[in-house]
Amino acid sequence: MKKIVKAFVFLGIIYLPTIGIAQDKDPKMKPFIDGLMQKMTLEEKIGQLNLPSVGFDVTGPIVSKDVEESIKKGLVGGVFNTFTPIAVRKLQEMAVKQTRLKIPLLFGYDVIHGHRTIFPIPLGLAASWDLNLIERTARAAADEASADGLNWTFSPMVDIARDPRWGRVSEGAGEDPWLGSQIARAMIKGYQGDDLMKNNTIMACIKHFALYGAAEAGRDYNTVDMSRVKMFNEYLPPYKAAVQAGAGSVMTSFNEIDGIPASGNKWLLTDLLRKQWGFNGMIVTDYTAINEMMQHGMGDELKVGELALNAGVDMDMVGEIFLKHGVDLVKSGRVSQAQVDAACRRMLEAKYKLGLFNDPYRYISDERNKSQLMSADKLQLSKEAAIKSMVLLKNSNQTLPLNSNQKIAFIGPLVKNQRDLIGNWSGAGDWKQATSVWNSLEQKYGIDHFLYAKGCNLVDDSLLRNKLNPHGAEIVPDEKSPQQLIDEALITAQQADVVVAVLGESFGMSGEAASRSVIGLLDNQVDLLKALKKTGKPIVLVLMNGRPLTLQWEERNMDAILETWFAGTKAGSAITDVLFGAANPSGKITMTFPRSIGQIPIYYNSKNTGRPFDINQKYTSKYLDAANDPLYPFGYGLSYTSFAYGDIALNTSSINPFQKITASVKISNTGKLDGEEIVQLYIRDMVGSITRPVKELKSFQKVFIKAGESKNIVFTISNDDLKFYDSNLKYASELGDFKVFIGSNSRDVKEAFFKLTK
Ligand code: BGC
């Protein structure tokens, strides 16, 4: 059903109602909740705002105590980290049978890139630029999660990230606000479907609101400071898009915005999110984020509780500040009864929209649990997603695809590895079910065919290993010395026609609390590659990792490089399909790969500055010891075939704000294989009332073109594509000159000009 969305403008700010959830319109919801709230005591209302964790996957200290007792007293609104029909039923029965008002619980979990069947990490999925695929993975995740008793996921993470040192770049869609917005919408649609009440849809949670990806120096949880113009143009769009797509909940971020932590920031949560954007779902904090406001220096427990409630927070994740102090805060007048009522109402509305009042057990079904979890169609989707997420970064002399008649040596600690393939935030996934590269080779060709050597430890550095192991990595150094491992690898490589080195990060090296100050391959892995290089054999580097890496040496010295991220349950099978040419890679990176850490932050949609780099001029913006351009630009990725771009043809050279312009370009597959190309359209606003980026992605098309054939690709540009927030935060286009670029990545483009006139 299509909804008509009417916007109205007040003081130059656009107020947009959200698309919302079908149940928003249910006339029975309000009277039902009114009736229920009349019966509730203040304590019970505050109980609804309490979200303890019951389970094992925690990302901070466990604060909640005696949760079961609290549930029975009606002092819990939902729990997270509990799943499986049996575990969920037990707690839901407590809420429904043993409390005075029988209000059911929400069951949340971090279902981030799949639940039981694991898909590639979000940064990998984004590299597919395939919105339908991304939506299908979210749909499959919702199918599984809902069959496992869950009705709420803490996803999607839509934080724009420009600093690959930040480990959580792996959880998002990369650096671009426009693409990030499309992906956010696709995920919301996948999780929530068109009806949240169905027993196979779950409530999404937009996180982390806001700007979490801009942590200074890429250090997790660090301070964020940013101008409003930058926020509105570059960081806020994906959150807003997800709100407009009807996401049922929003999670606050750990960081501060304008000096006030998100969980206590009234401007952010009430003025912007609720009033300007029209968000009518519920707001949950991140893990103990209210308590952490004390460390931020905002005051004692009472003060931070007061700040959070008055800012507009509805639910306190784990911290129990509301539970402890909510009643006193209301009784002392520091927080109004109306504020608590509003928060409680939103919690109850979320439960109503999920259909929990009709049937608190609707997400608990042993039968669906058996039929949905890791079903054949989901495993197939996992493989498809893994293939489409892979990015071919280099392929000289057509080293890839490999020929199975060649003698091939697979070398590296990740060849036989299963543990790392499912990446971080895959708590309900079972890595033992993941297909390793070696498993897959065995299944497809028989291993007698291939040579193997471990070559090095995944992590040699004992300090790093000690930091990774407590979080579930079981990295054990090999009994053989590093030199012995390398010697063995060299003997193996000597017998081969080609070497495939499978290297990268351990899964714990990206994700939360996994910032790195150096983002290359670890030294011991590079030592192995350097030794292998001396054999003179062609080397294919297969990478598994959760962030852009610095790969200058590898780019110069490897013959081919395939970025596979942490590709999920079917990783190995997808990788071997791509290596041997059963699938042609088509992914493109959605985050810039820098040459060196010194270039960070580096992103494609930067400003020109008053002194743009000019090799012939001394006083221009540059480094003395490094290039300005990245190693691999945003949008970059190769194919086993090649594509040639014709010039851009515009149907007119000027339009007014009510007209549209079409830009077409002929793309030819000039290689010998069929393949898919992601054709990207960027725009530059040449003159503005504020400075404008040198390029902004505004559209793309993913097209399949047969070898030797051509296609004419047509884009339509409208006034909406030219709008931005000016220094008064007014969202509008400005008349003048524009450049349009079309190309295979943000660097290699054709260009044309047009004007926007009155
Ligand atoms: C993370 C969130 C996550 C939450 C619950 C926090 O530490 O920042 O992304 O949803 O834990 O597990």
The percentage of the chain sitting over the pLDDT mark of 70, rounded to a whole number, equals 96
Is residue 154 in contact with ligand 1, taking CB distance under 6 Å?
yes
Is residue 159 in contact with ligand 1, taking CB distance under 6 Å?
no
CB atoms within 10 A of CB 141: 28
pLDDT at 633 over 80: yes
Q: How far apart are CA 138 and CA 154, in angstroms?
A: 12
In ligand 1, the atom with minimum distance to the C-alpha of 171 is 9
Ligand 1 center to residue 251 CA distance, Å? 9
Question: Per-residue pLDDT tens for 446-500?
Answer: 988 899 999 999 999 999 999 999 877 789 999 999 999 999 999 999 999 999 9
Q: Which residues pair with 753 in a beta bridge?
A: 739
Q: What is the pLDDT of residue 448?
A: 86
Q: Which residues pair with 593 in a beta bridge?
A: 632
Ligand 1 center to residue 59 CA distance, Å? 7
Q: In the numeric block, which tokens belong to residue 98?
A: 């043993």
Amino acid found at 371: S
Give the active site residue among 24, 286, 420, 460. Answer: 286
In ligand 1, the atom with minimum distance to the C-alpha of 157 is 9
Span of 12-21, 210-219, 412-421 with lowest mean pLDDT: 12-21
- Of 640, 647, 637, 660, give the one whose Cα is nearest residue 712: 647
**Domain layout of the chain by residue ranges:** 379-599, 643-756
Return the sign of the alpha-carbon dihedral for residues 446, 450, 454, 458: negative
Q: How far apart are CA 247 and CA 155, in angstroms?
A: 10
Mean pLDDT of the chain: 95
- Among 53, 58, 59, say which to mutate for ligand 1: greatest number of ligand atoms within 8 Å of CB: 59
Is residue 83 in contact with ligand 1, taking CB distance under 6 Å?
no
Q: Is 420 a catalytic residue?
A: no
Q: What is the pLDDT of residue 439?
A: 96
pTM as predicted: 0.96
Q: What is the pLDDT of residue 14?
A: 42
Q: How far apart are CA 360 and CA 268, in angstroms?
A: 33
Ligand 1 center to residue 269 CA distance, Å? 18
User: How far, in whole angstroms, is CA 534 from its chain's centroid?
Assistant: 39
Question: Per-residue pLDDT tens for 353-380?
Answer: 999 999 999 999 999 999 999 999 999 9
Quick one: CA torsion of 620, 621, 624, 627, rounded to 10 degrees?
Answer: -120
Ligand 1 center to residue 286 CA distance, Å? 6
- Among 53, 54, 110, 155, say which to mutate for ligand 1: greatest number of ligand atoms within 8 Å of CB: 110
503 backbone dihedrals φ, ψ, rounded to 5°: -135, 175
Is residue 59 in contact with ligand 1, taking CB distance under 6 Å?
yes
Ligand 1 center to residue 172 CA distance, Å? 13
In ligand 1, the atom with minimum distance to the C-alpha of 59 is 7
Closest C-alpha to ligand 1, atom 5: 287
Architecture of domain 379-599: 3-Layer(aba) Sandwich (3.40)
- Cβ-based neighbours of 35, under 8 Å, separated by 6 or more: none
Q: What is the pLDDT of residue 9?
A: 41
In the numeric block, the tokens 């709008």 are attached to: 723
pLDDT at 419 over 90: yes
Q: How far apart are CA 564 and CA 22, in angstroms?
A: 38
Closest C-alpha to ligand 1, atom 8: 286
The percentage of the chain sitting over the pLDDT mark of 90, rounded to a whole number, equals 94
Is residue 212 in contact with ligand 1, taking CB distance under 6 Å?
no
Ligand 1 center to residue 54 CA distance, Å? 14
Question: Per-residue pLDDT tens for 263-286?
Answer: 999 999 999 999 999 999 999 999
pLDDT at 668 over 60: yes
- Among 150, 287, 290, 317, say which to mutate for ligand 1: greatest number of ligand atoms within 8 Å of CB: 287
Q: Is 534 exposed, middle or buried (0-12, 13-18, 19+ CB in 10 A)?
A: exposed
Is residue 286 in contact with ligand 1, taking CB distance under 6 Å?
yes
Is residue 512 in contact with ligand 1, taking CB distance under 6 Å?
yes
Q: Which residues pair with 30 in a beta bridge?
A: none
Return the sign of the alpha-carbon dihedral for residues 208, 545, 414, 528: negative
Angle, CA 197 vertex, CA 70 and CA 280 arms, to 5°: 75
Q: What is the pLDDT of residue 229?
A: 98
Q: How far apart are CA 105 and CA 124, in angstroms?
A: 33
How many helices (H) does the chain have, and how many strands (E)?
Answer: 22, 29
CB atoms within 10 A of CB 132: 11
Given pLDDT bands bounded at 50, 70 and 90, which one contains residue 62? low
3 state SS of 507:
helix
Is residue 425 in contact with ligand 1, taking CB distance under 6 Å?
no
- To 10 degrees, what angle do helices 237-244 and 177-192 make? 30
Decide if 88 contacts 364 (C-beta within 8 A).
Answer: yes
- Among 166, 291, 512, 515, say which to mutate for ligand 1: greatest number of ligand atoms within 8 Å of CB: 512
Q: How far apart are CA 581 and CA 601, in angstroms?
A: 35
Closest C-alpha to ligand 1, atom 10: 154
Q: How far apart are CA 360 and CA 97, in angstroms?
A: 11
CB atoms within 10 A of CB 303: 16
Ligand 1 center to residue 650 CA distance, Å? 47
Is residue 109 in contact with ligand 1, taking CB distance under 6 Å?
no
| Cα separations in angstroms, 118 against 104, 330, 379, 428, 577 | 29, 44, 8, 9, 18
Closest C-alpha to ligand 1, atom 2: 286
pLDDT at 341 over 60: yes
Same CATH fold assignment for domains 379-599 and 643-756: no
In the numeric block, the tokens 């291993």 are attached to: 447
Given pLDDT bands bounded at 50, 70 and 90, which one contains residue 23? low
- To 10 degrees, what angle do helices 321-331 and 301-311 make? 80
Question: Per-residue pLDDT tens for 682-729?
Answer: 999 999 999 999 999 999 999 999 999 999 999 999 999 999 999 999
Homologous superfamily assigned to 643-756? Immunoglobulins (2.60.40.10)
- Of 182, 174, 569, 637, give the one whose Cα is nearest residue 390: 637
pLDDT at 6 over 60: no
Q: How far apart are CA 315 and CA 329, in angstroms?
A: 15
Q: What is the pLDDT of residue 3?
A: 37
Beta strands in 70-164 (DSSP E): 78-80, 106-109, 152-153
- Among 83, 286, 318, say which to mutate for ligand 1: greatest number of ligand atoms within 8 Å of CB: 286
H or E stretch covering 529: helix 523-533
Q: What is the pLDDT of residue 55?
A: 78
In ligand 1, the atom with minimum distance to the C-alpha of 205 is 10
Q: In the numeric block, which tokens belong to residue 128?
A: 């597919």
